[in-house]
Structure 1
Amino acid sequence: MLRIAALVILVWLSGSAAQGQSRFDGWASAIVAADWRTTTGEPIQAFDNARRDLTAGFLAAGFSRDAMVDVTLRPDANPVVTAEQAVARIGEAAARAPRGCFLYITSHGSPEFVVFGPDVSLTPTLLATLVRGWCGDRPTVLVLSACFSGAFIDGLAGPNRMILTAARRDRASFGCSEDAIYPYFDGCVIERLPTATDFIALGNAVRACVKDREEAEGLAPASEPQVFIGANMQLLAPTLRFDRPS
């Protein structure tokens, strides 16, 4: 079975390469800044800064602007985008680009939920339901940048899924203060994406980057970002190479 799956991937890969296409042609993507506050409620720009520069980075890596949703859920944005509107836009993008899904959410989190705008708490069950509706069985990469986001892995895991989280299920992440440019995890993704070859390499590089920064600043307990790779994605992910300038 593994040999057959590997053959299918190689045939798909050679066809894509022969046409000079990005490996992510036909992939829908969404990058969402879902909160805009410090833990004490003061407004900050860190999540939106991350959204802006993550969007630029993943466009450069080969994702299509036509199939990308890039939104902030802060209530003082112009125009305002509600959680319901963001969900609808992601669904529309996924319908237009049926080959794969990439979802990145940066926000505050707890062991029970991730903040998704002013009024919505995104629980593991709710997110799993949304992703199933958006992406079905197609290859899917999910990145959750929030405290305690490892708690989402069990509900989202599947053979066609790769999941990166900013922290263990019982750990906070760092970088959401008023003077922060980005949350630390997002900053490491932005820093390491230009030299990473694929999502597996990116996940490993980001984990090392976060560890180095937390140790340098004496932050404890360590957030310990998590990576889950389903069986099918273990074969496919190395072929999904990011675009790089020749």
Structure 2
Amino acid sequence: MELEPTPPRSPLADLARNLGAGLRALLLWKAAPALRAGAAAWIALELLSLALDFGFDFARAGPDGRFMADALAGKLFHLPWLMLAVWAAARLAGRPEAWLRGVVGMAALWIWLSLLWNALALLPAEVWGELGDAVTLVWWAPAAWGLIASAVLLGEVFDAKPARRLGMLAIVGLCYLLPTAMLGTQMPLWVATQTDDDDAETARWQAARSEALIYRQPLLLTEAIARVEPGEAGRPELFLLAIAGHGAQDVFLREVDKVERLFAERFGTGGRSIVLANNPATVLERPLATVSAMEASLRALGERMNREEDVLFVFLTSHGAEDHRFDLSLWPWELEQLTPQRLGALLDAAGIRHRVILVSACYSGGFVGPLAGPDTLVMSAARADRSSHGCSHEADWTFFGRAFFDEALRETPSFTEAFARARAAVGTREAAEGLEPSEPQIAVGEAIKARLDAMVADWPRTLQAQQGGDAVRPADAATTSSPCSAARC
């Protein structure tokens, strides 16, 4: 009796069966019987994987973009490692003839894991922000599950004993997952076309990446230090060190610029101030805000001050972290972050006794305790466990910066009174905008309080002597500041 010829297998039917087997493997169900092995079946799975990656990249970038052929190498990087891992597992089980079946099964399984990863990448930034410290766990959970599912699948395909299945777990981890993880983030297959705004942003950061910065910065710091004039004996004077820490937002640069001008007008610090700023627009014009630059600046200020009479006002504005690290950052440079203990050590090493320190940042209350002392006034824009508000790129001031410097200090020369007014103003604004209260903090040493009170009483005479004209009274310097219409400015 003559047998009827077997109908040819449909490539699409084989692809569907292999995808179903991959899903079963992902769920740790029996998957091997459903696999359709073969070179064509494997190629179909890899082409589908590339198509899915392209689709997700297109969804992220939008239709206005271009195809990146250079990205193909990264997308196919896993292939030799996949073959190596399955070959090692097949040899361990003594089933080298089933190698291609194992490769097809692994390709089908990891398509589903790739889908899961791409779906996670599409989640809004707000969702990832709410995860907090769990972000890393959530992102790498599919890889951990894939490792287990791969060992189960290969053990089934090669009919391996339980002990050897544990070996397969190690093989997949070392020969497949580790090399592909070390590759890191891959270039997308489809990227958005660069707009005029993108070009402007690239140009904005060009100076920060330039070689000229390396050679220019030491000169800028030397010049800034050389401009500091020594204090006059017998006349208590105020010196200023202002720090703009975070380079990606202009609000911090604007604040230190305005504070420098305000203090020159109101407190006679012209010629006795140093401003350090991290901002791509000023890297070739002004010294960077680094711990090393702060150390050199404080040492120079300590040498020019009359240490038994003069007072240093240190103003720091930037982002802050929950572990109370003050952000000093400028892409692409890796800069040391500033802690309260490091700042205190720098001030002590410089021999600066009389200090006023204002830290405007989230969680800046963590600076108050470590820096407090009889000769120190410390103020912060927020409690140690609270965020401050207003650090938007477009703003002229942060909430606390506006309330303290631009409003309160234009009405009173007393730092403690200005703090009380600013704290109340910030609280009122936060309540009106439905924000969590930042609760600015203050610690006033007895010795510095008496010294500042005496300086406030003598400031009109001091300014008159410095400027060679009429004294500037608090009311003379008051100006009308326009209300901030933005929700965060």
* TM-score after normalising by structure 1: 0.81
1: distance between equivalents of 2:409 and 2:234?
A: 16
Alignment partner for residue 329 of structure 2, among 93, 97, 117?
117
Greater fraction strand: 1
Greater fraction helix: 2
- Corresponding residue for residue 214 of structure 1: 430
**1:58 matched to 2:263:** yes
**CA 1:22–1:245 in structure 2 vs 1: closer, same or farther (change >3 Å)?**
farther
2: distance between equivalents of 1:205 and 1:177?
A: 23
Q: How far apart are 1:80 and its partner, in Å? A: 5.3
2: distance between equivalents of 1:54 and 1:104?
A: 9
- Corresponding residue for residue 358 of structure 2: 143
**CA 1:22–1:212 in structure 2 vs 1: closer, same or farther (change >3 Å)?**
farther
Alignment partner for residue 34 of structure 1, among 245, 263, 279?
245
Gaps of 5+ in 2: 1-232, 461-470, 474-489
- Runs of 4+ residues over 4 Å off in structure 1: 21-24
**CA 1:135–1:104 in structure 2 vs 1: closer, same or farther (change >3 Å)?**
farther
Alignment partner for residue 79 of structure 1, among 282, 285, 288?
285
Q: How far apart are 1:238 and its partner, in Å? A: 2.0
- Corresponding residue for residue 152 of structure 1: 367
Letter in 1 for 2:446: A
Question: Superposition RMSD on alpha carbons, in Å?
Answer: 2.1
**CA 1:23–1:51 in structure 2 vs 1: closer, same or farther (change >3 Å)?**
farther
Alignment partner for residue 273 of structure 2, among 36, 49, 68?
68
- Corresponding residue for residue 302 of structure 2: 94
Q: How far apart are 1:167 and its partner, in Å? A: 0.3
C-alpha contact (below 8 Å) 2:381/2:400 kept by paired residues: yes
List per-residue Cα deviations over 1:143-169 (Å, max 9, x = no partner): 000100110111101100001100000
1: distance between equivalents of 2:394 and 2:433?
A: 15
**CA 1:22–1:185 in structure 2 vs 1: closer, same or farther (change >3 Å)?**
farther
Q: How far apart are 1:192 and its partner, in Å? A: 1.5
C-alpha contact (below 8 Å) 1:23/1:62 kept by paired residues: no
2: distance between equivalents of 1:24 and 1:36?
A: 34
Q: Which has the larger radius of gyration?
A: 2
Provide the aligned length of Structure 1 versus Structure 2.
217
**CA 1:22–1:165 in structure 2 vs 1: closer, same or farther (change >3 Å)?**
farther
- Corresponding residue for residue 472 of structure 2: 245
2: distance between equivalents of 1:75 and 1:85?
A: 17
- Corresponding residue for residue 392 of structure 2: 177
Bigger relative contact order, structure 1 or 2 (CA pairs below 8 A, ≥6 apart): 1
Letter in 1 for 2:261: A
- Corresponding residue for residue 383 of structure 2: 168
2: distance between equivalents of 1:228 and 1:209?
A: 19
**CA 1:23–1:114 in structure 2 vs 1: closer, same or farther (change >3 Å)?**
farther
SS in structure 2 at match of 1:171: coil
**1:45 matched to 2:238:** no
List per-residue Cα deviations over 1:58-90 (Å, max 9, x = no partner): 112213222210221224422352312343123
List per-residue Cα deviations over 1:26-70 (Å, max 9, x = no partner): x33111111133xxxxxx211111111111111122132222102
SS in structure 1 at match of 2:391: coil
* TM-score after normalising by structure 2: 0.42
**CA 1:59–1:135 in structure 2 vs 1: closer, same or farther (change >3 Å)?**
farther
- Corresponding residue for residue 348 of structure 2: 132
C-alpha contact (below 8 Å) 2:276/2:286 kept by paired residues: no
1: distance between equivalents of 2:315 and 2:381?
A: 11
List per-residue Cα deviations over 1:166-214 (Å, max 9, x = no partner): 0000000001123322111111122211101311111111111211211
**1:202 matched to 2:414:** no
List per-residue Cα deviations over 1:93-133 (Å, max 9, x = no partner): 22111322110010110132001233121012111101212
**CA 1:143–1:23 in structure 2 vs 1: closer, same or farther (change >3 Å)?**
farther
- Corresponding residue for residue 91 of structure 2: none
Letter in 1 for 2:429: R
1: distance between equivalents of 2:235 and 2:426?
A: 27
- Corresponding residue for residue 107 of structure 1: 318
C-alpha contact (below 8 Å) 2:250/2:279 kept by paired residues: no
SS in structure 2 at match of 1:65: coil
2: distance between equivalents of 1:62 and 1:180?
A: 25
